[in-house]
Chains A and B, each alone.
Chain A
Amino acid sequence: MNELVSAVPWLGKRNPMAARWLIIILAIAAPMVAMLFGRSWVRILDFALLYMMLALGLNLVVGFAGLLDLGYIAFYAVGAYTFAFLASPHFDVHLPFWVVLPLGAAFAGMAGIMLGFPVLRLRGDYLAIVTLGFGEIIRIFMNNLNYPINITNGPQGINGLDSINLFGWDLARNLQVTEDFSINSLFLYYYFFLACVVGSIIFIQRLQISRIGRAWAAMRDDELAAKAIGINTRNLKLLAFSMGATFGGVAGCLFGAFQGFVSPESFSLMESIAVLTMVVFGGMGNIAGAIVGAFALALLPEVLRDVAVPLQQTLFGHVLLDPEVLRMLLLSLAMILMMLLRPAGLIPARARYAHPENLHRSAAK
């Protein structure tokens, strides 16, 4: 939160309290503002929140622990498919959401360890390329495990996933507050996802400012030195992989329930790279960066859809570059230029790994 606060332009440094409230108000009011532009924007915000969770999880692996994972979307897939298996007509199993969610997280976490074990010794670009392969392998299995026994229903995907049901309260239905006032389901999802993101931030921040967060940072900065102060780098790498994967798994469960349909197409390499770009764009290694990066890049294509076409039409009389091309162009340029010009990302905040108040206490002694 503090990182996010200080990332607020102008206000962040001068009046952190005001900046904090600004963020809270914006977060709460966002779907209402979005509603002015249409319900689809609320839906886009919902997805943006899912991307934030993904970016937070990937940031934990890439930014905190320094392990470049190009197959991260595989864990998202594991989460989504877990939900599809356990809460849909596919196997005709309908476990409650609160049972499926931890299972999805746990399976994804296990998948993280499964990936982590063999790649422990690899570093840098080799790690990246093996994880990329891992992501593709998972996707290919999802796409083909309908034969000889139908497990994933193959390329057809699984339809009719249960919606999120919080103790009898179905988020997929509009909430009827009074006779003629109801809250749209998209808003319900928004606030539920927001709560999940806030929970994730708190959890990740606690991790960051802890012996584990420090050990990850140490390992990332200098693995040899980290070993020399007694850090068990093997266990910590596995922990990073599985924690990151867990977030991916949770996001996947939410995605499956929200979308109601999962199919292997949603878990392509391009998605992995999109999430990585979010982390890089925002600023590797800090929570605010992941949040801002995910928010900016999840909204970018939709904004382009609305702005690029009319803009080009007024400027050139016809559309030169359609929004999707423009999006690809901007994404790729963002990756290149960010690395060249601003490698620390949009929000180059320095992550904290200690509580300053503890220091004041001991310094006072």
Chain B
Amino acid sequence: MKKTIVALAVMGLGITGAHAQEMVVKIGSVAPLTGTISHLGKDNENGARLAVEEANAKGIMIGGKKVKFELIGEDDQADPRTGTTVAQRLVDAGVKGVVGHLNSGTTIPASRIYDQGGIPMISPSATNPKLTQQGYKGVFRTIANDVQQGSALGKFMVGPLGAKKVAIIDDRTAYGQGLADETEKAAKAGGAQIVAREFTTDKATDFNAILTKIRATNPDVIFFGGMDAQGGPMLRQLKQLGVNAKFVTGDGGCSPEMIKLAGEAISGSAYCSMAGLPLEKMPGGADFRDRFKKRFNADVQIYSPYAYDAASAIIAAMQKADSVEPAKYLPALKASSEPGVTGTVAFDAKGDIKDGAITLYQFKDGTWVAM
């Protein structure tokens, strides 16, 4: 009986035979692998996986031992409760660091578990400012938060786009609403008038009613805080309603998927933002895209470079501290200042990325082009 339990436990924890001369270090990756944004979740996991595999290929030595990093992927279903459960699983599994989660809504409750377990976590995509305001020592993110991104977006709309009248839509998710609120603030501060504030959901497909209402206010720019699955159809409906306002969205819509779903309706007056520098402007950016494509036979969606940078930052901190123990390498992580795919990865006192650069993209020739 006992043997079976142990056997099951081994199976459950997914321990694979580790060689004696090698030290296996587990790194967790959590994102929704099921549900409506699973394509983004998988993208995140792939980003982290690429970093881990490349580190393994390099043959890193820590504390005199050769280290084999192992990525443990978990699915949080974008559900807060499941998020805490899988967080606990990762802590149990003895991961030394975590890349995740994707959504702010799951990351915030999960961060408490990692904090209790003493394990550092870096979210590549959770942008809610509250995440890093909880006072946990080991919580970081490699992406600009909503305040940073929203203010950049707001400034961009009133500045380069010259918006006087702005309409704002959000999808009533923690992400969409948070970003929309910050963007609204910044746009207002920049002197634009918010002519409409409308709402939809992350499951909706018909936006005609709110778009018609917005059309009546005749905005120069429409901002959507939400994901590509809604943003694409929304663009189509805007076109069908004869709305010619510029369309701006955040990182959630800054994906190839968005372009695919919007079809012909996407035009040169569609813009999106992403934290960090654009891939092609990075020395290793285009290279990353190729490596990613080669390894996973998939296009980079949105956050995989951030996940890659997050995983790399953990590994780099371990190297610097010459220890895989969280308590030992955490100071190194806090102090890290490494060039990453998305820019220099360095954190401020709270754990937010320092000088989180925001790059704005415009749709051109079938793809997002950095401006």
Contact = CB atoms under 8 A, between A and B. Distances in A.
A159 B134 contact: yes
A324 B199 CA distance: 30
B105 A155 contact: yes
B81 A266 contact: yes
Given A159-B108, A259-B80, A263-B105, A38 B89 contact: yes
Interface in A275-325: 302, 305-307, 310, 322-325
A182 interface: no
Given A263-B105, A306-B12, A40 B92 contact: yes
A306 B34 CA distance: 16
A261 B35 CA distance: 21
Interface in B77-99: 77-81, 84-86, 88-89, 91-93
A265 interface: yes
Contact of A265 (B5, B13, B79, B89): B79
A40 B89 contact: yes
A322 B81 contact: no
A332 interface: no
A260 interface: yes
Contact of B128 (A33, A38, A156, A266): A156
Contacts of B86: 40
B189 interface: no
Contacts of A156: 104-105, 128, 130, 174, 177-178
Contacts of A144: 172, 199
Contacts, number: 97
B335 interface: no
A322 B33 contact: yes
A324 B79 contact: no
A154 interface: yes
A343 interface: no
Interface in B43-89: 75, 77-81, 84-86, 88-89
A266 B173 contact: no
Contacts of B89: 38, 40
B11 interface: yes
Contact of B79 (A33, A38, A266, A323): A266
Given A143-B172, A261-B80, A310-B11, A38 B134 contact: no
Interface string B112-149: 10000000000000001010001000000000000000
Interface in A222-270: 259-261, 263, 265-266
Contact of B14 (A36, A143, A310, A325): A310
A203 interface: no
Contacts of B35: 324
B109 interface: yes
Nearest to B86: A40
B134 A40 contact: no
A37 B12 contact: yes
Contacts of B108: 157, 159, 261
Contacts of A302: 85
Contact of A159 (B13, B33, B88, B130): B130
B241 interface: no
Contacts of A143: 172
A305 B50 CA distance: 23
A36 B9 contact: yes
Interface string B1-41: 00001101101111000000000000000000111000000
A64 interface: no
A47 interface: yes
A306 B177 contact: no
A67 B1 CA distance: 44
A144 B112 CA distance: 26
A90 B228 CA distance: 31
6 contacts: A40-B91, A155-B177, A157-B80, A265-B78, A324-B35, A325-B34
Given A43-B84, A261-B112, 4 more contacts: A36-B6, A155-B177, A156-B178, A265-B79
The 7 closest A-B pairs by CB, nearest first: A38-B92, A324-B34, A40-B88, A261-B109, A40-B89, A306-B12, A43-B88
